[in-house]
Structure 1
């Protein structure tokens, strides 16, 4: 074989090895927590060819590594350590929702059945006694890492499927809201604007992220009860007479009945909003005449968002009203129709509310969430 051919083969071999290394998954990490250097050296020698090994000589140091941004995939944990012992370390791992899935194997000279029982009770998946057998350590570590990988993959798939179901449910709720809108405003984007208005006001009022997500999704159902109101009333271009108004005022109860009572937080939030968004802070609203903070906060927020949108946009019975005049009208109802604290939150996000109104103007025709600009 010529020197040139050998060089070519060597080069190809190096490239192949580099490519294989690039696609090889990273080594899993095993944390060895033991206060005896000889034990650490022995376990490290068994594991280092196959795993990335981290070391801790105290329980406190072990927890610091476990709770870091780069946690181990498995812990080999001694029981008898200075300060915090292995049992306490394991309890703390299992009490942390973000780290409780990490498998813990006790590796200890405590060999009684009672010791093993206690170790398993505090959350360990296995119990290896000293002096260790390297083949047993290798086999147990390999088995529990494989099981942990399978568990994480299953959890990932469940989370992915749960997210898909949540999106589907949210879309069904949004479509039901759209069904009500089709009977009221044929090309309106009212429910989309309402979702964003409500979230903005809720955020300015200090609601947490979980509540804001519920509010954003559930507010689209606020007027679903209009499905039960005749077209002759919904689409009437002039003012409603007393009998027509009595029918219109039934739509919150109709909406609540359509949604029904549920343990599911999203559907229950939608029911509460449908039922209470026409209550007034001074107790003169409908259907129940609730007063002040007896009105659920979601209902109080959506009441502000609903009136803002009704004033800012044309309806069969009125033209659109400019922003400055809209705000003036709403300010006059602070403390009577609207919660004063929530009106203060409304003012803090007024520019964003106006931007949402313009982005989702009915002049653009019926739109979807995909049409909202990035950063909105």
Structure 2
């Protein structure tokens, strides 16, 4: 059975510990930078990097997330407040603690620094013990923050894994149910697989997004759900159907729609749409509700092309399989009458892929010979 692979959840990230905490010091005074770095480097758990050039520090920070940044206020190239503003503009620095080192006690400077995003201040000249304590306290908060982030990622991984399993089960159920329905009129599982794949190719060549293409691929196998309400005698009749029998066949769109109506998921909603509208015709002469042109939902217009194309290429109790190129020519002949011209053009654009698919997915009863 052909089906898409459910989205794969990303692997959980390793837990962050104090041993990986990294500190960044930005100070254009070499002596001051050396002293701060020496004081903090005495804590074995911390890895410290120092920069005398704030622009160089910002370039490093753009590609690497430090766990705390200490930045001097008075610097020649870029002052501390502007440096903090640019740090906070980096998405991965929105919550990183930043300590402003300053010998300026001006209230306006401190307010500007806080407004820019500074977390704490340390006055110069500083006491080494006070520096270590302030850094230690902020890093304790950072560790707690990282632990929460780590836990959130683990929970996200677990949720995605659970959803992935549910999606796989949903897909399996859809394919098994649709195969059971198709066997009632002499079709094979390959028919629904091919129709689904052709519908996906048409949708993609129409420029639809990945979610739409995946949904139509999974919803298309349920297009003939309503056949469950049609008698075997009619479905498997080898001769020409009477008007009464044709009327009974046409009821399958409404039956399928009633089975699939009121769904909550996008998949079931589209399956309902396809079941009801896939026998509509562009010129309004089809059946279901009698819609015309673009009033027919796009999913119905796409599956109309895919379903008829595969029906022509497949052997049935009442007909042999058409050659691939003859089936394609018939679809093009009906463009603007039975089919949406845009959907036919999208089929044409994907014809090479479709031809290859029919080669590797023939009917069990020899449809490959028709290619």
- Report the TM range for the smaller structure's normalisation: 0.7 to 0.9
Which ranges of structure 2 fall in alignment gaps of 5 or more residues? Answer: 1-13, 74-78, 124-130, 367-371
Which ranges of structure 1 fall in alignment gaps of 5 or more residues? Answer: 1-22, 94-98, 366-376
Do the aligned partners of 1:276 and 1:296 also contact (CA within 8 Å) in 2? Answer: yes
Q: Does 1:310 align with 2:321?
A: no
Quote the offset at 1:62 in angstroms.
4.9
Do the aligned partners of 1:195 and 1:219 also contact (CA within 8 Å) in 2? Answer: yes
1:171 equivalent in structure 2: 172
How has the CA–CA distance of structure 1 residues 89 and 348 changed in structure 2, closer, same or farther, with 3 Å as cutoff?
same
2:290 equivalent in structure 1: 289
2:76 equivalent in structure 1: none
Q: Does 1:107 align with 2:99?
A: yes
1:207 match: secondary structure: coil
Cα distance in 1, alignment partners of residues 246 and 37 from structure 2: 80
Which residue of 105, 122, 125 corresponds with 1:130? 122
2:207 match: secondary structure: coil
How has the CA–CA distance of structure 1 residues 61 and 269 changed in structure 2, closer, same or farther, with 3 Å as cutoff?
farther
Cα distance in 1, alignment partners of residues 363 and 293 from structure 2: 33
Do the aligned partners of 2:223 and 2:256 also contact (CA within 8 Å) in 1? Answer: yes
Cα distance in 2, alignment partners of residues 233 and 219 from structure 1: 23
Cα distance in 2, alignment partners of residues 312 and 342 from structure 1: 18
Quote the offset at 1:60 in angstroms.
11
Cα distance in 1, alignment partners of residues 144 and 212 from structure 2: 42
Cα distance in 1, alignment partners of residues 339 and 38 from structure 2: 67
2:364 match: secondary structure: helix
Cα distance in 2, alignment partners of residues 234 and 217 from structure 1: 24
Moved more, 134-143 or 39-48: 39-48
Q: Does 1:252 align with 2:253?
A: yes
Quote the offset at 1:338 in angstroms.
0.7
Which residue of 40, 44, 65 corresponds with 1:72? 65
How has the CA–CA distance of structure 1 residues 221 and 138 changed in structure 2, closer, same or farther, with 3 Å as cutoff?
same
Matches within 5 A, 1:45-64: 46=40, 49-50=44-45, 62=58
What's the C-alpha RMSD, in Å, of the aligned pairs? 3.9
How has the CA–CA distance of structure 1 residues 188 and 55 changed in structure 2, closer, same or farther, with 3 Å as cutoff?
same
2:6 equivalent in structure 1: none
Cα-to-partner distance string for 1:40-60 (whole Å, 9 max, x where unaligned): 984796478546667787699
Quote the offset at 1:311 in angstroms.
0.3
1:373 equivalent in structure 2: none
How has the CA–CA distance of structure 1 residues 75 and 139 changed in structure 2, closer, same or farther, with 3 Å as cutoff?
closer
How has the CA–CA distance of structure 1 residues 194 and 335 changed in structure 2, closer, same or farther, with 3 Å as cutoff?
same
2:339 match: secondary structure: coil
Do the aligned partners of 2:25 and 2:33 also contact (CA within 8 Å) in 1? Answer: no
Do the aligned partners of 2:315 and 2:321 also contact (CA within 8 Å) in 1? Answer: yes
1:359 equivalent in structure 2: 360
How has the CA–CA distance of structure 1 residues 90 and 276 changed in structure 2, closer, same or farther, with 3 Å as cutoff?
farther
2:351 equivalent in structure 1: 350
Cα distance in 1, alignment partners of residues 281 and 50 from structure 2: 63
Cα distance in 1, alignment partners of residues 209 and 280 from structure 2: 24
Cα distance in 1, alignment partners of residues 34 and 218 from structure 2: 53
Cα distance in 2, alignment partners of residues 40 and 169 from structure 1: 61
Name the structure, 1 or 2, with higher relative contact order (CA <8 Å, separation 6+). 2
Quote the offset at 1:270 in angstroms.
1.3
Cα distance in 2, alignment partners of residues 40 and 250 from structure 1: 84
Quote the offset at 1:288 in angstroms.
1.0
Do the aligned partners of 1:32 and 1:43 also contact (CA within 8 Å) in 2? Answer: no
Q: Does 1:225 align with 2:226?
A: yes
Cα distance in 2, alignment partners of residues 253 and 310 from structure 1: 20
How has the CA–CA distance of structure 1 residues 152 and 253 changed in structure 2, closer, same or farther, with 3 Å as cutoff?
same
The TM-score normalised by the length of structure 1 is 0.73
Cα distance in 2, alignment partners of residues 220 and 54 from structure 1: 59
Do the aligned partners of 1:74 and 1:103 also contact (CA within 8 Å) in 2? Answer: no
Do the aligned partners of 2:281 and 2:291 also contact (CA within 8 Å) in 1? Answer: yes
Cα distance in 2, alignment partners of residues 163 and 248 from structure 1: 37
The TM-score normalised by the length of structure 2 is 0.74
